[in-house]
Structure 1
Amino acid sequence: MKVAEKIQRKINRMQEGITFKYQQLGIDQSEYSAATKTIERLIKKGMIKRVSTGVFYKPKQSAFGELRPREEELLKPYLFQDGKRIAYITGGSLYNRMGLTTQVPKTIKVASKVKRVTTKIGKTQVKPVKSYVDVSNENYYLLEILDALKDFKTIPDLDKKSAIALLKNEISKLSENDQTKIIRYALKYPPRATALLGAILELSNKKSGLDRLRAKLNPLTTYRLVIKKETLPTAPEWNIN
């Protein structure tokens, strides 16, 4: 079977809106040259779109026209390595998705401990951020919460009362195992994130492990997050004001 036919069949079976690389086309190293030409022809026909160098997707059509894949999907090749998650989206994009801000950032931040992700998705620049702990599929959602706590004061257009309620809701849903993990990770984060996590955990009546968070904090330090006591009643106990 010719390389072009092989690639065409493979793409025909692919799900729309899912990104892929050359390695997923089932071709040999010796066939890459021919594959490149085939890919370029398919792009010109509009059958596939290029995300960035060596990364493509099959466009999904709807009644309103072509749908662009989600941010997470477009960045998937950079968030995973050998099938394992090594990075996650953070910053403004994350906080917008979480409902903490209505603003859409001009750049996307990707956090990883082992890789610097620098690329461009359309007109959007992707910039690297160093994560505080190693990232995996089992912990990235906890690191997202901790990032929001860390950046609480600087998230643009933030309604603090709604934000505390939203974060409390997310944290209160954590299993006992996840609570143990998020406390362990919080010890690697700046103290302001540790204090805010402690206050919200205590407000949620999740008091197991709070002594570990308190032990990390300097009792003489005040964390100026400008949160009213009626918004977070436990704030004074964690030196948050």
Structure 2
Amino acid sequence: MEENISQKVRDRVTRFKKGDLFTVRDFEDLNNDSLVTRTLSRLQNEGIIVRVATGIYMNPIKTQFGVLHPTIDQIAHKIAERDRAQIMPTGDTALNILGFSTQVPMNAVYITNGAKRKVQVGERNIIFKNVVQKNFQFKGKLLPLIIIALKELGENQVTDEIKDKISKLLSESDAEERATMMHDLYLSPVWMKELLLPIIKTVTE
């Protein structure tokens, strides 16, 4: 029985795409988390998979320079998926993800409706700060991230370059994202509404 489950884990891992992240929860249908964990540990020792953070594994993309690692943001979202929690990046993390800043923060900070925790990834940390559910009233993904980044910048620090980047990001968004923009814009401060509304109208009309 155990040998059969271990083989199922191995078979499933080989079907994951290169670069895919996965956790024990992705094997919960096998109903044996302990055995799955041990099997993943063996696969890691064999060099078939790599562990990118505690409990987070990857089917590695190997290049001549070594293994291509996922971004901190990808790891953070996989942790949230595993924990069935919502997250949003804040502060410098949001600015960096959007390309509004080239500064890479040592601590990638996210708000969450799940448990607060700190996860070490190499020399960096992912920090999850618990907040009340009302912080997750947004329906989209892109505009809320822009709103958070603008809040970090402040009204007087929004340059023409930032506005151009916002316009480009919104123009490249899909129909599903655009359908949520007016709802999410309503949740932003007045000065952001005045800044973003003309851009959104240009994109959606």
Structure 2 length as normaliser, TM-score? 0.75
Partner of 2:49: 48
Instruction: Tell me which amino acid in the other structure corresponds to 1:161.
Output: D
Conserved 8 A contact 1:16-1:60: yes
Aligned alpha-carbon RMSD (Å): 3.2
- List aligned pairs for 1:146-225, cutoff 5 A: 146-153=147-154, 160-170=159-169, 177-186=179-188, 194-201=189-196, 204=199, 206=201
Partner of 2:111: 111
The separation in 2 between residues aligned to 1:23 and 1:196, in whole angstroms, is 42
What SS does the corresponding residue of 2:30 show, helix, strand or coil?
Answer: coil
Q: Number of paired residues?
A: 193
Inter-partner Cα distance in structure 2 for 1:34 and 1:70 = 28
Letter in 2 for 1:15: K
Seen in structure 2, the aligned counterparts of structure 1 residues 44 and 135 have a Cα distance that, compared at 3 Å, is farther
The one-letter code of the counterpart of 2:121 is: I
Provide the rounded CA distance (Å) in 2 between the counterparts of 1:172 and 1:196. Answer: 21
Q: Verify the 8 A CA contact 1:94 1:144 in the aligned structure 2.
A: yes
TM superposition score normalised by structure 1: 0.66
- Supply the AA of the counterpart residue of 1:27: L
Cα drift, residue 147 of structure 1: 0.5
Higher relative contact order (CA 8 A, sep 6+): 2
User: Which residue is equivalent to 2:92?
Assistant: 92
Amino acid at match of 1:97: I
User: More deviation in 39-48 or 90-99?
Assistant: 90-99
Q: Deviations over 1:77-107 (max 9, x none)?
A: 323367x661133332331231211111101
**Change beyond 3 A, Cα 1:102–1:64:** same
Q: Extract unaligned runs of 5+ from structure 1.
A: 187-193, 208-241
Percent of residue pairs identical: 20
Structure 2 residue 20 is matched with structure 1 residue 18 = yes
Does structure 2 conserve the Cα–Cα contact (< 8 Å) formed by 1:19 and 1:57?
yes
Q: Is contact 2:110-2:128 (8 Å) kept?
A: yes
Q: Which moved more, 1:175-184 or 1:70-79?
A: 175-184
Q: CA deviation at 1:160?
A: 2.6
> How far apart in 1 are the matches of 2:172 and 2:7?
49
Inter-CA distance 204–9: structure 2 relative to 1 (3 Å threshold): closer
Q: Corresponding residue for 1:211?
A: none
* 1:34 correspondence with 2:26: no
Distance 1:177 1:17, change over 3 A: closer
Q: Tell me, yes or no, if structure 1 residue 126 matches structure 2 residue 126.
A: yes
Long gaps (5+) in structure 2: none
Task: Give the 3 Å change call, closer, same or farther, for CA 204–15 of structure 1 in structure 2.
Answer: closer
* CA–CA separation in structure 1 for the residues paired with 2:146 and 2:158: 16
